[in-house]
Chain A
Amino acid sequence: MKKLILLSTLLAGTASAMTATEIMKKVDDQSAQTMESSFVQMTLTSCKFGLSNGSVRCVEQPRIKTLETVGMDLGDSTRSLMIVRQPASEQGIGMLSYNYDDTSKTDETWLYLSALDKVKRIATGSGSDDEPASIFGSEFTTEDQETGNIDEYNYRIVEETNFQGRAAWVIESIAKPEFAASSNYDKELLWIDKERFIVMKGSAFRDDNEVKRFQMASIEQVDGVWMARSITVLNLVANRLSNMKLDAIAPGIDADAQFLTQRALTDRAFREAGLDALRQQAEGISQ
């Protein structure tokens, strides 16, 4: 018992000596780690929200998208496949991406529109590609999900506090002037769990007005990594919310690189067979 106390004190001591940037680097590394070689089933729900008895509720029938994604790390590149399962009108839409570590090689993306039975390679040019874009038309943007961009922001610890019963840092994040144009926000405040190095809450500001609120829930350890299984974003200007729920996440799956090819987009039987196999694997390890 005494040892445990000593250990946590030591940890706390280490933690408090960290700079804001170091804390964010650790948070970022952890969140990047979760998406490698995994099979994820997720539900993305969006609706207009209101408050009922002090709690957030949808005031209209929410739009629900369910997706399955498979990620693979091939050493020199990563591959990912995303298939839309719901709604019916978008069922079967797929997107396959190859991201190369070698920056001289152009990343590749193929989009498959099932209703047209057409696969198109989507290439982007240079320029303002880094502008934040909505994720599947939800309130989440690519900026909210990005990892590996720690160098683009200035961080500072605003205060050390207790959030929902856990010791936390409140860290302010402001895009560096040269990257400000590619940020939707003037400033973000992030509540970081001191022990688990995970964001528990976030507030995004524009002109000193809070425009978005992020809330993480169902924080669990998956394959040794802390992650939030449910993330909700409230757009406080549009009164719209989106919730991203990881229904199943299976890290460390064994996927065949041959599965993550264009055939998985166009050949329905091939795709479903591959996904079935992954689902079965996931059932065994999913947490």
Chain B
Amino acid sequence: MNQLFIAINQFFHLLPDRMIKARWWVLSITMLGTVLMLVGIGTRFNFDQSFEGMLDEGDPAQAALDEFRSQFGSDDSVFIVYRPADGDVFSPASLATLRQLTNKIEQAIAAKELPRAVDIDSLTTIKAQVDQDGSLIAQDLVPESIPADTSSIRELANQQPGLELAYFSSDYQYGGFTIKTDFGVIPIAQEGAAISDDVFADFSLAVDTSAEVRTVEFEDVDFLSYLDIMAALDDILESPEYDSFEFYKSGTPALTADSFAVMNQAMMLVGLMLILVIALLWWLLRTASAVVWPILAIILSSIWAIGIASWAGMTMTTMITLAIMLILAVGIADCVHVMSAYLFYRREGEPHDKAMSHAWGKTGLAIVLTTLTTAAGMLALSLSGLSLFVEFGLLGAMGVTLALVFTAFVLPVLMHWWHPAKSVKKAEHGKIQAVLDNIPNATKKRPWLWVAGFAALFIASLLGANHIKIDSNMMALFRDGTPIKETYRVIDENMMGTSNMIVMVDTVATEGLKDPVVLNAMWQLQKALEANYPEYILRTYSLADIVRYNHNLLTGAGESIPADARVTSQLLYLFDSSDPDSRRQLVSDDYSRSHISVSMRNAGSSEYAAINDEINALIAQSFAPVYEAYPDTRVQMTGTFAMMMNFTQQLSDVQFRGITIALLLITAVMIVSMGSIQAGLIGIIPNLIPALSIFGVAGWFGIAMDGDTLMIVPIIIGIAVDDTIHFITHYRNLLLKGEEEEVALRHTIKEVGQAVTFTTIILGISFAVLLGSAYLGLAKVGGFAAMALFVALANDLYLIPALIRIFKPRFGVKKPNGVTAS
């Protein structure tokens, strides 16, 4: 192993000179590649913040949702809640404004000015079914000429099934309208797969179950279309004629647009972070070229990583921000170590070229090892299969590897053109050095005390981690008062809620849904859900509501499901004839499949988890008679509720598995690179403490962990391990040179300790900037990361020296007398 390490050191020693010789090639490839990557980002970047985007392709709730969409059409609508200034959605003025707005949106849809929008449903487009003097009249709920007294309209609206909470709040202060879209249901034109005229040559309606049903693929939703429709819609809603309405926009397109805005803000914070990093690097290195070029290398690494991901067709989420942070963090650490070494040699009086070779030779191995461990950890995460982790893992692994490539291969070329002048002033950092100078003595006197202190922290964190709550709640990630949070609050408190559960019912029998047994089961389940969970469930709606309503309308016998299958069948015939579009959204053409829509308030996945089993039991109980009549019946849950449940479950499983695999891989790399199991463990165990401290703090202070926050753990392990590798590699190199352990340790703390301290200060402060993000997912990440980085620093400076003093590992280096220490 030592031979290999020596060879790597030698390779890096010669690398700057070789790269400078091939500088035009290096520069051309870098520039061309960067242009290609920018084109990829510009044309192929895809962003999806929806739950579906985060779930596994094979997730049952996702599969059920796909089935739902292919059967019942797109559910990707924009739901807009409005609050008229006069506080009454049924006032003549409000109805007139709504009609005008509806007309304007209809015109925009017809003129294709609202991309992907296909229809609008509002109070002014609704047909009300009324029984007037024996006539069944389907009339406009809001008549062409709006009367001065609109109380009859309000009364009629209240009588219609499914309107309350979807179109108006119970106190009439809020109204709602839905803009339906064709997101996710646009078929892809398949070249060569078009139906030829010959298919009719031998036309017959004979049944052939072996006939091949053409696969219809649907276009992926381009997130830019979400932004486009929302921008076009904003143009309309912000017109002065609608000033009397206050709007709250929800639905996936609105959520995506808001998330994108938040991501842009996060990107600005990352920009701020970068400026801070530059300032701190300047404070540390005091030479412009040694700051500018490494930062450029890190930026290029990020561009290339995102570019490659875009070209590869990867869909990205807000996780991209975290991946960039990881690249930044690892890149900065590499940069500080390399530049510190370079400047050290320049100060010693070496010319530029020689200083480069020495610096690369001295730090190259450590950088390779840190890149290897971090990339291995990231790849382990991507193996988990959960798309969110795959995205983060692959981007992270690619990014840190690219950071190594740019630092090792491109940086020498850049530094060749512009590098520090002959005299390089040493930056004075007296206070930091004084603290560092004190460490060897402090850890020498009572090493066990330090170990005990950190062990106590370890145990406290472990105990805290026991109380940790893993909870996915989109809204908990936004600060109070942000528009998106306000929208969710208004819709949850006044309208039909921002979350939903879809109970898919498939009787696998043609006309099954016309059977009163099935309709009754659906109605029983709806009643039970509404009665048992009023705090979560706001409204349920199904075919059973239609049958009950029409039954009363035609017979006046009250809302009930008739026992005679012929009657239910004909009531549904009436529904089909009067409103075929609504019918198609509720039940399949052959009446074998339907669904119950359950509108819910937004809540955390842990709250949902508490009622999940009960709801499943209710489904089983309500559908027991159906299973008897139709044994093949399948009842499945999908929608936000089910997806959130599954996502959180997957998140916990995968996170645990991912971190475990990452740790095992990193440990393996450490053991191999450190030369012994004991040395490897000394390298890895201290690095568990920073990550564990995050869980500890979250557990003790009741801070819920979600997808974003959990992702910080591997980042922290990655950074912490990097610093330890630099520390131990330096110590080991000194041992290899024959230095005494005490001297080597003091020297390492002084030299690497300073670089590690600087890295921590730079990254810690930069991460803390994120605390200002409106997106709490990012703010929490920033706070936890800053805290964990300082814990990691304390580990490197106090715990590792204490452990080295106690266990005296030689990291595979033989003692001068030929005996290899433990």
Please report A residues at the B interface, Cβ cutoff 8 Å: 45-63, 87, 89-90, 93, 95, 111, 113-116, 118, 120-128, 131, 133-134, 136-137, 164, 177-178, 180-181, 201, 206-211, 213, 215, 217, 232, 234, 236-237, 239-240, 243
Contacts and interface: CB of A to CB of B under 8 A. Distances in A.
B208 A61 contact: no
Contact of B140 (A47, A60, A127, A136): A127
A115 B144 contact: no
A63 B514 CA distance: 14
A95 B211 CA distance: 37
B139 A118 contact: no
B216 A63 contact: no
Contacts of A57: 204, 206-208, 211
The 8 closest A-B CB pairs, nearest first, are A50-B211, A121-B135, A125-B139, A120-B136, A134-B580, A89-B569, A52-B211, A57-B208
A53 B208 CA distance: 11
Contacts of B589: 46, 63, 137, 240
B212 A52 contact: yes
Nearest to A243: B205
Contact of B187 (A62, A133, A236): A236
A121 B134 contact: yes
Interface string B538-574: 0000000000000000110000000011110111011
Given A56-B199, A122-B138, A125-B140, A50 B212 contact: yes
Contacts of A181: 106-107, 109-110
B583 interface: yes
Contact of A134 (B200, B212, B584): B584
Contact of B136 (A89, A93, A111): A111
B612 interface: no
B564 A54 contact: no
Contacts of B203: 55-56, 215, 217, 232
B480 interface: no
Interface stretch (B190-198, B382-390, B490-498, B616-624): B190-198
A124 B186 CA distance: 32
Interface of B: 106-107, 109-111, 125, 127, 131, 134-140, 143-144, 185-189, 194-214, 216, 510-511, 514, 554-555, 564-567, 569-571, 573-574, 576-578, 580-581, 583-584, 589-590
Given A61-B510, A122-B135, A89 B590 contact: no
B212 A58 contact: no
A261 to B, nearest CB: 16
Contact of A59 (B208, B216, B581): B208
B207 A89 contact: no
Contacts of A46: 589
21 contacts: A49-B213, A50-B213, A51-B211, A52-B210, A54-B201, A56-B200, A57-B207, A59-B208, A60-B209, A62-B207, A120-B135, A122-B138, A124-B127, A125-B137, A127-B125, A134-B584, A206-B186, A215-B197, A236-B187, A236-B216, A237-B185
B211 A116 contact: no
Nearest to A91: B566
B186 A207 contact: yes
A198 to B, nearest CB: 16
Given A115-B566, A123-B136, A201-B197, 10 more contacts: A51-B199, A58-B206, A59-B207, A116-B555, A118-B555, A178-B110, A181-B109, A207-B186, A217-B200, A236-B216
Contacts of A126: 140, 144
Most chain A beta-carbon neighbours within 10 Å: one of B197, B514, B578 = B197
Given A56-B199, A115-B564, A50 B208 contact: yes
A164 B198 CA distance: 10
Given A59-B213, A128-B125, A240-B589, A89 B199 contact: no
B137 A122 contact: yes
A87 B580 CA distance: 18
Contacts of A215: 197, 200, 203
Contacts of B202: 53, 55
B722 to A, nearest CB: 50
A228 B210 CA distance: 30
A126 B196 CA distance: 41
A136 B211 CA distance: 26
A116 B209 contact: no
A189 to B, nearest CB: 13
B556 to A, nearest CB: 10
Which of A46, A48, A134 has most chain B Cβ within 10 Å?
Answer: A134
B137 A123 contact: yes
Contacts of B511: 87, 89
A111 B577 contact: yes
A123 B214 contact: no
Nearest to B194: A210
A133 B214 contact: no
B144, B189, B590: most-surrounded residue (chain A CB, <10 A): B590
Nearest to A128: B125
B71 to A, nearest CB: 9
Contacts of A240: 589
B658 to A, nearest CB: 39
A95 B574 CA distance: 11
Given A111-B577, A236-B195, A121 B136 contact: yes
